[in-house]
A and B are shown apart, each in its own frame.
Chain A
Amino acid sequence: MSNEEESIEDSGEKQDTAPSPEPLPIAKPDAVEGTEAQPEILAAECAVVEVEVPSTEPVAAEEPELVRAAYEHPLPIRITHWVNAISLFVMVTSGLRIFRAFPSFGPKIPEKVLIEIPKSLTLGGWLAGALQWHFTFMWLFAAGGVVYVAYQVASGHFRTMLFTPGDIPGVWPMARHYFFFGPKPPATGQYNPLQKLAYTSTIGLGLLSLLTGLVLYKPTQFSWLAFLFGGFHLTRVWHFAAMCGFLAFIPGHLIMVLLHGWSNFYSMLSGWKRDPEYQE
């Protein structure tokens, strides 16, 4: 029993890391030939998988019916996904409370209130409380982001989600399907081009939040960074804009998760997606 578990465990982990030692055969055609290269990529990935499959077969053979499944989300991705989701919730709600103390991007005198933020949307009770949450979870958010990106790069897993120029032609058909009930483009991989665009954008937004946050927290120690963002005032605007970016992403993300049902949601908890849409 335990041996079987180990063998499947092993094969699962090998699948995750397998692409990294040989990035060139996969990355090159993708970058050069765009979408036409997709079948080749899948073929390449398949070839890797086929080597591993025999190790799972002794177990699988005992079951009369086999289920198609994919281990889509390695553990580090799942952990950082949920840590980042929680951190982001805290950062946005406490951030809104902080913004409430001076809800303007102009001068103090005269103060023009840009937006009145309801207390109910905020965390921390008052400015000091909100700052405490913000200054605690900023570390978690930063750590989650760094670990996530580092793992994506080191494992090669980023190829499933990174938006590349080859994905551009696929964006409009997907958007037409989502927003205007157009025909559904065939699934070619774990994520469609619009998903890749959204997920890749969140990495950019996270980076922007962290860097602008660093400037607002230590404008003197990081004066060179403040300069790059156009000064203290503009940095505050960028920091707020990054939050707006996240606020644009989150509802769309949640709606899509709701629409795609339990199996899809459960995959971000268990890693395994039962009967994925795409072919092998």
Chain B
Amino acid sequence: MITRLGDKELKRQSRRQLLKLAPVAVLGVFAFPKVSDRLVAAGVRFSDWASGELFRSQHPAHTFSDSEVVPFAKFPYNYYDVVDPGVDLGKWTLTVEGDVQHPGEYTLAQIHALPKICQNTRHICVEGWDVVGSFGGASISDFLKLVGANTGARFLEVECADDYYESIDMASILHPQSLLCYEMYGQPLDRGHGAPLRLQMPTKLGYKQAKYLDTIRVTNVLRPDKTGYWEDQGYSWFGGL
């Protein structure tokens, strides 16, 4: 495809074509931290929106046979503050608030009375590691029925005894594998794993699986800087798998 043209003409053509490339220089704004911080945060919000759109509310996460589960000793204790916030297991109740017909305090016995689900699922940490564990508990969706929650609301907020907090989209909460988990490996949750009650949702990353549950709240509005302990520091809010 060789053409012959005058030197000046070639230079002029080259300049014209070079200028057409100028819009790519817009990406240079990423070199300025004040701008790039906001742009990449917006990028994560966009990715979170796309993740919500991609989420299939009935599509099950892969489940594993008992032989594929890692031994209990190899299931990491991951904590952000303390391994044991010292919950008084005898007096513990779950506070239910927000858009529900029957707000108030619920005991572990009431949660045990709901149909029990046992599942071997993969727990994936945002850091990149994962473990296949064995979890038992009540479906969150069953519990929300018990408390007369408005499942048309958008979010479930949770607060924990170790001052951890989280908020989760309702579609993921209502997923059939999303548990109020009170057992691991057939034993009651130990203190390191969030006794007496934690979230266990195989469709979410590990940091969404709040431990030491204290309060849950059904709501349509999230507080701007209180969407989740790690999320408020820059991690993806959706955190979905």
Contact = CB atoms under 8 A, between A and B. Distances in A.
Interface of A: 5, 8-9, 12, 15, 45, 49, 53, 56, 59-60, 62-63, 65-72, 75, 78-79, 82-83, 86, 90, 98-99, 101-102, 104, 107-109, 111, 127-129, 131-133, 135-139, 218-221, 223, 232-233, 236, 266, 269-272, 274, 276, 278-280
A220 B56 CA distance: 9
B74 A109 contact: yes
Contacts, number: 182
B91 interface: no
Given A75-B21, A218-B51, A221-B59, A133 B40 contact: yes
Contact of B241 (A67, A129, A138, A218): A218
Contacts of A276: 2
A133 B40 CA distance: 6
B34 interface: no
Interface stretch (B150-158, B159-167, B228-236): B228-236
A89 B122 CA distance: 31
Contacts of A62: 6
Interface of B: 1-10, 12-18, 20-21, 23-24, 27, 30, 39-44, 46-47, 51, 54-56, 59, 61-62, 70, 73-76, 122, 124-131, 202-203, 230, 233-236, 240-241
Contacts of B44: 131-132, 135-136
12 contacts: A8-B13, A69-B2, A75-B20, A107-B70, A108-B131, A128-B230, A128-B233, A131-B234, A132-B234, A137-B43, A139-B46, A269-B18
A220 B241 contact: yes
B51 A270 contact: no
Choose among A65, A101, A219 the residue with the greatest number of B CB atoms under 10 Å from its CB: A219
Choose among A86, A221, A232, A278 the residue with the greatest number of B CB atoms under 10 Å from its CB: A221
Nearest to B3: A69
Nearest to B177: A220
Contacts of A138: 47
Nearest to B41: A132
A276 B127 CA distance: 49
B2 A59 contact: no
A24 B241 CA distance: 45
Contact of B3 (A56, A75, A107): A56
B4 A49 contact: no
A270 B17 contact: yes
A63 B1 contact: no
A62 to B, nearest CB: 7
A101 B230 CA distance: 15
Contacts of A233: 130
